[in-house]
Amino acid sequence: MLSACQSKVIDNSTIVEVEMVSFADDVLPIFVSTCGGTGCHINEAVNQVELTNYQRTISSFAETYNKALVIPGDVAGSPLIDKILANPQFGIRMPDGGPPLSNTQIETISTWVEEGALNN
47-91 pLDDT, tens digit per residue, is 999 999 999 999 999 999 999 999 999 999 999 999 999 999 999
Residue 81: burial class (beta carbons within 10 Å; 0-12, 13-18, 19+): buried
- Which pLDDT belongs to residue 43? 92
How many residues in the chain? 120
pLDDT at 95 exceeding the cut of 90: yes
Q: Is the pLDDT of residue 2 over 50?
A: no
Confidence of residue 5 (pLDDT cuts 50, 70, 90): low
Q: What is the DSSP string of 27-94?
A: IHHHHHHHS-STTSSSSS-BTTB--SSHHHHHT-EETTTTEES--TT-TTT-HHHHHHSSS-SSS-PS
Q: What pLDDT does 9 receive?
A: 54
- pTM for the whole thing? 0.86
The confidence score (pLDDT) of residue 16 equals 66
